[in-house]
Amino acid sequence: MKKVTRHEDLMAQYENPIAHACDMQEGQVYIADGWQKPAGFCDSAWESMSPFVMTLAHGGENIYDGWMKNPKSAMISCNDGFRPVSFLIEVIE
């Protein structure tokens, strides 16, 4: 996990307070086994990124035609509009 962003202004204006809405920390590393969500990984974040994980796990690369410098990787964010988390997905060879 690369970066956690917090949109405090949007949270104050629109969000009902939620305890532990996101407990992810920058620098955490998760290893997925194909389609299997890693233990302790956020369900919502997994829904956002699992198609990319599956594509890369099954030999796909160069997602979106040259988007990433490393063709066997993707940079994906979860769908939380208040505190999006950015994930670097890489193939482990």
Q: Hey, what are 6's tokens?
A: 């917090």
Pairing outcome for strands 3-4 and 73-77: unpaired
DSSP letters for 34-51: TTBPPTT--HHHHHHHHH
Q: How many CB atoms lie within 10 A of CB 71?
A: 15
pLDDT tens digits, 30-81: 998 877 899 888 888 999 999 999 999 999 999 989 899 999 999 999 999 9
pTM over 0.85? The answer is: no
For CA atoms 56, 62, 65, 69, the dihedral sign is positive
Task: Please report, for the chain, the start and end positions of each structural domain, with discontinuous segments joined by +.
Answer: 3-90
